[in-house]
Structures are given as C-alpha cells and as structure tokens.
Amino acid sequence: MQFNITNGPAFALLELDMDAGDQVQCESGAMVSMSSTLTLESSIGGNRSGGLLGRALSGLARSALGGESFFVSTYTAEKGPGHLALAPPVPGDISAVGLDNEALIIQAGSYLASSDGITVDTSFSGLRGLLGGEGLFALKVSGSGVLFLSSFGAIVCRELAPGERTIVDSGHMVAYAEGVGMETRMVAGTGGFFKRAMTSATSGEGLVMEFTGPGPVWIQTRNADAFSGWIKSLLPEITNRSSGQ
C-alpha cells in the first residue's frame, strides 16, 4: 500500500493506493472517495470478531470513553487494486506514523486511520488525564503498521531525549509514545499553591501536561476549545424578551 498526504497543513487529504487484499480501518465518515474495487464493512468499535455484546462494549468504550465514533469503517481491496481518499472532519493536518510492535496514546478525535496489523483500543488515563482535560480514558493504538493522526492545525513532533522534559497545553496534545512519562500540573511551577493557581488562571493556560523522554510527543498548532471560544465571543448576545414588553 502506498500513501500520499496532500493539501496540508490546513486542509490535508490522505490518498491511499491499495494493492489487492489490502485493508484500511478508519473513523466513520472519513471517506472522501473510493474506487469501485474496494468494499466497505462497518463494525462496532472496529472489532469484527467476538459476540455482539463484546463488540457493543468495544464501540461504547471508543465513543463514550475514548471520544471516537461508535462505528468504524474497514475498506478492503477485495476486487483488485484501488484508490481511497480520507479526510478528518475539521481543518488541519494529517501525519503518518510507522509502528513496529509499538503503542501510542492518542487524544480524542486525533485518530484518523490505520493499516492492517494495528489495534485500536481504550486506555485508562486516570486522574492525570481527567485533570489535563483529556478525560479518564484515551485511545491506545498498538501493533505494527502505519497509523494516521489528524489534528486541528498543523502537527509537530517533538522527539524527547532521555530525561528531557517539555510542557504542552492539554488542548494542543495529539499523541505520545507509550513509555513517555506524563504528569498533569499547573503551568506555574514555583511558589505556593495560591500563587501557582493565580498564575495558571490569569495566564489562560490552566493545567498543562509535562512529558519526560525518551520518546516522541505530537502536538497540534491550534486549540479547538480556544477557537470555539473565540467564535462564541464574536456572536451577538441574544436576549429573551416577552411579547408584552
């Protein structure tokens, strides 16, 4: 399977040239166009094996806990080679990550697609993830193959050396390799609790995620929550007036 990412970083499009027998799993609704030689199968949670209850629980975990769609689409080049084009739902970039028996932890909404040989499941992130704004659960992608990440804005990869630390606003986090240390804390690292809380609140950063290498961390250059807040500030205020006034 060959792939090419075009029109990035603002309106990225993933184009896949699939050989006969190739399979690609992606988020429901990501397909832009496909060859007639490809077949589509929709499954609950991406798990096409096991009983109905197990598949339903898998889909529920992905949607309610991992922030992804309940159904997952699998495209197979069943009738011969074909072309598949995929795109994320929001303006932004797409990045290809090759995995070799490795695992990544991905924020909600950043999984776009993956080749055969890669498993997508939910991972318990605990209180650190909840405080960081990512929720109690995140997506864990593991195996060998090619993973395609999507973002709001462009994607930047930071390769951390052993012991190297970097601080990322939770709204800009896309993914990080399993094994990279991650702690959630206030952006202000010195002073008493109230001083740090005041600095975090007045700076607009709040809680941040501190990563410790070795390993890669992927970040996005725009924050969807901040963007939606900016759009909301431009809308006129609507007042409710009774007909008698």
Dump the DSSP string for 201-234: HHHT--EEEEEESSEEEEEESS-HHHHHHHHHHH
pTM of the model: 0.78
Domain count along the chain: 1
Residue 217 has pLDDT above 50, yes or no: yes
In a domain, 202, yes or no: no
| Structure confidence at residue 241 (pLDDT) | 61
Does some domain include residue 42?
A: yes
* In a domain? residue 7: yes
In terms of pLDDT, which residue wins out, 213 or 48? 213
Look up the CATH number of the domain holding residue 16: 3.60.160.10
Provide the token pair at 164. 């190297």
Structure token digits, residue 171: 């709204």
Contacts for 159 with CB less than 8 Å, ≥ 6 apart: 213, 215, 216
Residues 130-173: tens digit of each pLDDT: 444 454 557 889 999 999 999 999 999 999 999 999 999 888 99
Answer for the pair 226, 171: CB distance below 8 angstroms, yes or no.
yes
Position with higher pLDDT, 109 vs 3: 3
pLDDT at 43: 75
Q: What does the pLDDT read at residue 69?
A: 55
- Alpha helices in the chain, H assignment, sequence order: 52-60, 126-131, 193-203, 224-234
What pLDDT digit, counting tens, does each position of 1-51 carry?
A: 999 999 989 999 999 999 999 999 998 889 999 999 999 998 765 444 444
In a domain, 185, yes or no: no
Percent of the chain with pLDDT over 90: 53
The rounded Cα 129 to chain-centroid distance in angstroms is 14
Q: What confidence tens digit (pLDDT) does each residue in 60-86 have?
A: 444 444 444 557 899 999 999 999 999
Residue 142 placed within a domain: yes
Range of the domain at 68: 2-154
